[in-house]
Structure 1
Amino acid sequence: MAELLLHPIVPMLLGAALVRVAPRAVGNVVMLLAPALALAAVWVLEPGTSVTVPWLQWELEVLRVDGLSRPFGIIFAVAAICAGLYGLRTQQASERTSALVYAGAAMGVVFAGDLITFFLFWEIKAVASTLVIMARRNARSGRSGMRYLFVHVLGGKLLLAGILWHWTATGSLAFDRFEPSAGAVLILLACLLSAAVPPMHAWLPDAYPVATVAGTVFLSAYTTKASVYALARGFAGWEVLVWLGVVMAVYGVIYAILENDIRRLLAYHIVSQVGFMVTGVGIGTEVAINGTTAHAFAHILYKALLLMGAGAVLYATGRSKASALGGIANRMRLVLGLYLVGALSISSLPFLSGFVSKELVVESAYVDERALVVLILQIVSVGTWLSTGLKLPYAAWFGTDGAGPRTNDEGHPIHVAPVPRTMLAAMGIVAALNLAIGLAPGLLYDLLPHPVDYQPYSVGKVLEKIQILLFTAFAFGLLLKKLQAKAMITVDTDWVYRRLPLVVGELGRRGRTAEAPVAAPAPARPALLTRFQAARTDVLARFGRDREGPPPVAATWTLGSVLLAAGIVLFLVSVVPS
């Protein structure tokens, strides 16, 4: 049981409690120290470590360290350190608490050896991430946060139903590879929803871009990657995942090319890049699982760097629409340079992290003789470089004004505020990690679940990738007028659950009007009810809208529908004979 005290969630949860009550100077230290201690704990725990605790009739394996969970635990701790440093000047105490609980719960997910522990941390992660989204405290983050919560409440109930069904059918709660069954399918659906597989993906570009600049960095690291881990643990080799992953990769990159909001563009690239990982899980070979793990590790780093760069632009200018930016390169040269490290990493430029991780997934498809999959993933890489490495930096930093003036005193319409040094330091650390992995792939390959017999730096592979990137850059220059940022709004599948409540409400209003054209005077509310509603409004305002009132938590048909659906699923599970 002594190993239980070394569980990485212990310093994270203690830190979350401390940053809520401690003075800000102490909170700054704790925000970096807690994940650093968690990283040390992961590093000390040897593969094969297992801790079980009795609960009712079961032995719960609350800590399991092996070749798959360890690299995810390491990168989750590193991401918390870097994101915490990035938000040192901007995050309030409540957001810091939510962020540390969120990161700690994600670690709990990857180190869970049984399905009950897995479910517990899965749900804590969903609630904590919702609070991270809503920490920006405006109307948009409040509404998006509630939509995010509704989706993940549904996913959690699917997960619970699948666990119960699996247990009644097999008598086991071990979190290992599942054989095809009804319970396993429900668990798979919950993981696919959390991994943002289309059409169950729209919660991600809806919610991530409306969080604070540091909150978005935290969000990019955990929810989808914990789901990738769960898929790799339970569903390696399921053929359907190969093609779901390919669809994700293509879908995300197409929407990213169309997108105008720079953080929403990067959110769509999370969908696309997670598609590579899901494809690797579906292939299921040792090479593919290594590629999935390596790509998840590197993606957390370069996606954090990209979102840090976009967040710095938002912090300095107050703008996130690419069509409203441009001409600020001379006043944000360091941010631009660090951002480009991330952009070149995600585009798989040799000697950066994406080249040694993403190409391992493509190699697994090649070895498995999946020529069509290889072709599609390579085409997606072109779209990634086009949107993330060319369109976004050109529009945000250069635009129609070129590099722009060097100061704010030269008549330029966009004012650029100084970027805090802690933000720049965090970006520098993440850029250095991307470069280190690219120059010394063994640093990453030694952490992977299986031995790696892959040499990324052959002359053919390097030349092929450089040719692809140069040709794409040349095409971008020729088609610049077509591809430059435009003021537009992309419509995605979230249109359904954004509009449906309005339609239902309008139909209900018309029905009531037809039945009772003359409205009766509203009865006076009891004083106790009035006080209760006022108190509820005050509490909810802390997590949602600032002065415009709280998001509609209690009085919403959507939440009721989700709970009703969950009840129906649980009822059906309970009556199915074991």
Structure 2
Amino acid sequence: MTDTILGQINPGLWVIVAGLICALMPANALRKGLAVVAPVFAAIMIFLIYDRAGPIEGSQFNGVLAGQFYIGDVLLTTLRIDTLSVVWGYLFCLAGFINAIYALHEKSWITDSSALVYTGAAVAGVLSGDMLTLFLFWEFTAISSVFLVWQGGDRAYAAGIRYLVIQVLSGVLLLAGAVIYAGSKGGDFTFGYIGIDSPGAWLLLIGMGIKAGFPMLHMWMQDAYPKASITGTVILSAFTTKFAIYALARAFPGTDILIWIGCIMTMFPVFFAVIENDLRRVLAYSLNNQLGFMVAGIGIGTTMAMNGVVGQVFVHVIFKSLLFMSIGAVIHRTGTAKASELGGLFRSMPYTTVLCLIGAGSIAAFPLLAAFVTKAMILAAAIDEHLWVPFAMMLFASAGVMEHSGIKVPHFTFFAHDSGRRVKEAPWNMLVAMSLAAVLCIVLAWPWGGYDILYSLMPYVTDYKPYTWDHVVFQLQLLFAAIFAFTLLKRYKLYPAERRAEIVDVDVLYRKLGRNVAVWADAVWVRLSARMSSWRKLGMKRAGRRLYQAFSPAGALSQAAPSGLPAVLTAAVLVFVLIFAYVAGT
């Protein structure tokens, strides 16, 4: 198909165009239909183009290069579908399809249009073959997604501004790094393995790290995601960070520093999630935790680890979306996601309760559920490479995610104390979307051929067997130990109480300290401007007086200088200008 015009077009562009058309459609039904169909069409196009894939010269993957053209001396490859990128392409189309079903009850054309453009930009970005095209869609995801944050209401405006600034900064660093790196490689902007042996590579790593939520660069998630609209939060959780994980997997596999960055990412969210009251912020911290496993796996860089990363990304988008969708359904019916104000909802939202429990079990890696067949590959890769400290850190984080996402979220939402709320079950479209995600969580981990479907998508051939007695028993021991610890702490009232407060993280640096510095700088500038204005007026007055004394008809030059002096000065200035122009021209 690559020899046709359709085969040269990045499939993500079709979704972007659909999003732009959505903005012009007055009929809600037509917008919703287009939102559901567009990701499916893009997935079909990816399949048809990739169907005739072969070895790519200079690459370790099989695939297709298309949409190539020159701008000056720079070769752009706007479409590359290979063994690595095709997984993200299919995944983002699947996520876009499920999100469109989940949002069928909404009547906002801004949400419909922004979600489609955002989905298309993410698909087009992971299918880009050069760093300039990657940058274009990198920024496109930032600009389109901020409208989903702003749809959360008045309190989301400031968070959206902060989100946009961080995302644009990430793109600026990405572009600067790409230009510097390509300059050191003779102007080659091909997006492949980069490593960290040049200044440009470090800028690329930092730019990607911002979008991936590296430690100290992560708070834009906890700041913006909980303030976005109900459907906006679900959509945001699926694309931005996983787009960054793809870029890291493409550019920096086997980079040792990522092992330690990833391990820190898995651990620190555990402590914040335990004391956080807003359950969407708990899930945002949990998102950080899961991203840490992926980053650590990229740092390990072996075929086992990279397969684990790809598999973990795929199932993570599904079960994390399921958890955000279940909490979104609760907000839709109750108006709150505060753990201190919920509880007892299993009586009136039984289907949502069951679906949330499937998502919770999936993220905790219970046997027969999604993450059980993928996260273990990353841990096994760490053992194979004798990385005992990182293995221990990720093991602790695995128990932690069981506590805050596997237990805390469903416990305080649907069980715990009875809040007395008696509400309707979630709308039918929300239940359908959540059910699709829940079925995938089960099917992709099914021991009788189910996980083979997932493993067939991985970039490297694998014969890993997740269902061994030692793995199953060990995982159950870890999970039940976490359950026992939670129960013990709750029984003796040692578990942190849910408080109606917002936990401040590293965002204190820019939301409080930074604000104080800005106020101080503004005051200093006002004073300095006033003083400089008076100095400027005084200086101009003195200069004017001196010029008048020198060049006026009654001035010093007119009285003492010969009549030809002005002509000599004019000629000198002209000679200077001609010399300067000549030098500049050569």
Matched, 1:157 2:172: yes
Of the structure 1 ranges 460-469 and 68-77, higher mean CA displacement relative to structure 2 is found in: 460-469
1:133 positional shift: 1.1
* Equivalent residue letter for 1:68: L
Quote how far apart the aligned CAs of 1:452 are. 0.9
Q: How far apart are the structure 2 equivalents of 1:10 and 1:156?
A: 20
User: In structure 1, what is the equivalent of residue 288 of structure 2?
Assistant: 271
Match of 2:367 in 1: 350
Q: Deviations over 1:260-309 (max 9, x none)?
A: 10000000111110000000100011111111111001100000000001
Query: Are positions 1:432 and 2:439 aligned together?
Result: yes
Shift of 1:53: 2.2
Q: Deviations over 1:389-426 (max 9, x none)?
A: 2122111112222xx7xxxxxxx3x3524421000000
Task: Give the number of the structure with larger relative contact order, counting CA–CA contacts within 8 Å between residues 6 or more apart.
Answer: 1
Alpha-carbon separation, structure 1, partners of 2:14 and 2:86: 17
Q: Where do 1:299-338 residues align within 5 Å? A: 299-338=316-355
- 1:168 matches 2:183: yes
**Superposed CA RMSD:** 1.8
* 1:92 corresponds to 2:104: no
What's the CA shift for 1:490? 1.5
Label 1:8 to 1:460 Cα distance change in 2 as closer, same or farther (>3 A).
Answer: same
Q: Which has more radius of gyration? A: 2
Match of 2:31 in 1: 27
CA distance in 1, matches of 2:136, 2:297: 27
Matched, 1:41 2:54: no
Cross-structure match for 1:535: none
Question: How far 1:484 moved relative to its partner?
Answer: 5.7
Counterparts of 2:402 and 2:12 in 1: how far apart (Å)?
Answer: 36
1:423 correspondence with 2:430:
yes
Alignment of 1:549-568 (within 5 A): none
Amino acid at match of 1:133: V
Say if 2:70 is the partner of 1:54: yes
Which of 441, 446, 470 matches 2:451? 441
Residue of structure 1 aligned with 2:383, choices 366, 372, 378:
366
Query: 1:54–1:390: structure 2 CA closer, same or farther, 3 Å change rule?
Result: same
Change over 3 Å in CA distance of 1:320–1:229 after alignment to 2? same
Distance 1:247 1:331 in 2: 39
Q: Which runs of 5+ in 2 are unaligned?
A: 54-62, 531-586
SS in 1 for 2:155: helix
Residues 463-488 of structure 1: CA deviation (Å, up to 9, x unaligned): 11112112221221111133265113
Deviations 1:208-240 (A, max 9, x none): 111111111111111110111000100001100
Q: Report the AA paired with residue 423 of structure 1.
A: M
Note if 1:297 corresponds to 2:297: no
Query: Is residue 352–residue 425 contact of structure 2 (8 Å, CA) maintained in 1?
Result: no
Structure 2 counterpart of 1:144, one-letter code: A
The code of the aligned residue for 1:289 comes to: M
Question: C-alpha offsets along residues 494-525 of structure 1, whole Å, 9 cap, x if unaligned?
Answer: 111112453135325655897999xxxxxxxx
Q: Deviations over 1:315-366 (max 9, x none)?
A: 1100111011112220111101000101000000011111011111111111
1:543: which partner in 2?
none
- For 1:49, what is the secondary structure of its paired residue? strand
Aligned-partner SS, 1:400: coil
CA gap 1:27/1:516 in 2 versus in 1, 3 angstroms: closer
The answer to whether the 8 A contact 2:273-2:282 is kept is yes
- Any conservation in 2 of the 1:341–1:431 contact (CA below 8 Å)? yes
Q: Distance in 1 between matches of 2:124 and 2:522?
A: 46
Kindly state the Cα deviation for residue 253 of structure 1 after the two structures are TM-superposed.
2.1
* Residues 1:198 and 2:201 aligned together: no
Is it true that 1:283 corresponds to 2:287 in the alignment? no
Identify unmatched segments of 5+ residues in structure 1: 405-411, 518-578
Amino acid paired to 1:18: I
Task: Spell out, residue by residue over 1:126-154, the C-alpha distance to the aligned partner (whole angstroms, 9 max, x if none).
Answer: 11111221122x22211111001111121
What SS is found at the alignment partner of 1:490? coil
Contact 1:391/1:483 (8 A) holds in 2: no
- Deviation by residue 1:432-455 (Cα, 9 ceiling, x = unmatched): 011000101111100010001200
The C-alpha deviation readout for 1:79-137, integer Å capped at 9, x for no partner, is: 0000111111125111111111111111111111111111111111111111221122x
**Which residue type is aligned with residue 475 of structure 2?**
K
Contact 1:316 1:419 in 2 (8 A): yes
1:445 maps to a residue whose letter is Y
Q: State how far apart, in whole Å, the 2-side matches of 1:512 and 1:55 are.
A: 44
Using the alignment, how far apart are the partners of 2:78 and 2:523 within structure 1? 53
Runs of 4+ in 1 over 3 A off after TM superposition: 3-6, 508-517
TM-score between the two structures when normalised by the length of structure 1: 0.85
Deviation at 1:489, TM superposition (A): 2.6
Partner residue in 2 for 1:460: 470
> Whole-Å Cα distance in 2 between the matches of residues 500 and 370 of structure 1?
38
Instruction: Give the whole-Å Cα distance in 2 for the aligned partners of 1:485 and 1:30.
Output: 45
* Alpha-carbon distance in structure 1 between the residues aligned to 2:308 and 2:363: 15
Deviates further, 361-370 or 439-448 = 361-370
1:479 counterpart = 2:489: yes
Output the CA distance in 2 between the equivalents of 1:5 and 1:423: 36
Secondary structure at the counterpart of residue 61 of structure 1:
strand
Q: Which moved more, 1:302-311 or 1:82-91?
A: 82-91
Amino acid at match of 1:227: A
Match of 1:232 in 2: 249
Contact 1:395/1:485 (8 A) holds in 2: no
Question: Do 2:17 and 2:117's aligned partners in 1 also have CA atoms closer than 8 Å?
Answer: no
Partner amino acid for 1:483? Answer: Y
Percent identity, aligned pairs only, is 35
The separation in 2 between residues aligned to 1:4 and 1:500, in whole angstroms, is 52
Of the three residues 200, 205, 218, the one matched with 1:188 is: 205
AA matched with 2:333: A
User: Structure 1 CA distance, aligned partners of 2:351 and 2:404?
Assistant: 21
CA distance in 2, matches of 1:211, 1:295: 25
Distance 2:521 2:390 in 1: 48
SS for the counterpart of 1:199 is coil
Would the alpha carbon gap of residues 199 and 508 (structure 1) be closer, same or farther in structure 2, given more than 3 Å must change?
closer
Q: Does 1:389 align with 2:406?
A: yes
Contact 2:177 2:203 in 1 (8 A): yes
Equivalence for 2:505: 492
What is residue 578 of structure 2 aligned with on the other side? none
Q: Secondary structure at the match of 2:69?
A: strand
CA distance in 1, matches of 2:47, 2:522: 59
Residues paired across the two proteins, number: 506
Which of 305-314 and 359-368 deviates more? 359-368
The separation in 2 between residues aligned to 1:341 and 1:418, in whole angstroms, is 17
